[in-house]
Structures are given as structure tokens and as C-alpha cells.
Amino acid sequence: MVLRFALLGAALSLALAPLGAQAQGSYRCVGKDGKKYYGTTIPAQCVGLAVEQLSPSGTVVKRFEPQASAADLAKKEAEEAEQKRRAAIAKEQGRRDQALLATYGSEKDIEQMRGRALSENQAVIDEAQGKIAELKKRSATSRPGALDREMETQENLIQAKKKEVAAINAKYDEDKRRFQELTRR
């Protein structure tokens, strides 16, 4: 009796083996030559390509993407990094634009701020020139060369502040240009 069941079980498993393979489905891909290839295992022509696992009825059960090469992965990572960099730049520009619009209500405000910055810069120059004049008076009564270092420091400050005038004008010119661009949209 036990032998009968064992023989029946073996016969059944042999009979159902093709159905089990068929139940797993098959694989399909489009080769590099444009032809479709099918197989119960992944066809050799499909290596390195996208492969679809099919059900016995022929519907796609799962899709396997091809393994990307190291160069493809590096290229994709570089593209993603570039997109992130561009997004960060756009976000920073948006923040700057909002700050600019919050700071100035009109082009007149920009010109007033420019005038104030230039006036403050000129005040520092005038103060340094006054100190130089005072040092020259004091140097007549002190030992020679005693105040030279302080006079040199004041002269360097004057030169730096004169160069700063161009930077101040450039900043406010750019603010004015961007303000006009943003308010004319």
C-alpha cells in the first residue's frame, strides 16, 4: 500500500513537472538587433538588456532592468549632482530676489542707499585725511620718523576706501538692474 502511494506520487510529480515549469512562465527581451527573444530561462541574446518575466498567459509579471556599467552609473550620478547644484543655485537666487524686493520699495530707495554708502565711505576718507594733517603737525615737534607708521596706515586706509567706491557703485548698479528686472515681470 505504501509502495503504491509512493509510485503514484512519483508519477504525479513527473506528470506535473512540465506544468510547474510552465507556471513559472518565460522570459522575453528585445535584442540589440531589434528582434524579440523568448525562453524559459533568460536567453543569451538578452544579457545586459531589459528582460521581462511573463506569466503563462503572456502578461508581464516583472521587469528586470539591465545592469548599468560603471560609466553609466558615473554619468547618472554626475547628472543628478548637476541637477542638485542647479536647484541650489535657483533656490539661492530666489532667496536673494526676495531679500532685494523686501529691502527696496523703488529705484529711488536704491539710489538713496547708494548715496548713504558713498557718504559713509567719504566720511572715513575725510577722517583719515584729518588724522594725517594732525600727524604732520605733530611730526614737526617730535623726533623724525616717529609717526611715519601711523601716517602710512592712514594713507593705506584712504587708498582702500577710494577703491571701495567702485565696488559700492557696482553693487548698487547690480541691485538696481535686478530690481528693474523683477518689478517689470
Q: Average of pLDDT values for 14-34?
A: 64
Could you give the strand order of the β-sheet that contains 26-30, starting from the edge strand earlier in sequence? 36-39, 26-30, 51-54, 60-64
Residue 74 has a pLDDT of: 87
Q: Average of pLDDT values for 6-13?
A: 41
Whether residue 184 is predicted with pLDDT greater than 60 in this model: the reply is yes
Whether residue 16 is predicted with pLDDT greater than 80 in this model: the reply is no
In this structure, the strands spanning 26-30 and 36-39 are antiparallel
The per-residue pLDDT for range 130-169, each reduced to its tens digit, is 999 998 888 778 777 778 889 899 999 999 999 999 999 9
Sign of CA dihedral 88, 91, 97, 99: negative
Domain ranges of the chain: 25-67, 106-183
Residue 185 has a pLDDT of: 67
Cα distance between residue 157 and residue 124, in whole Å: 9
What is the DSSP secondary structure assignment for residue 180, as one 8-state letter?
H
- Nearest CA to 138 out of 126, 161, 154 is that of 154
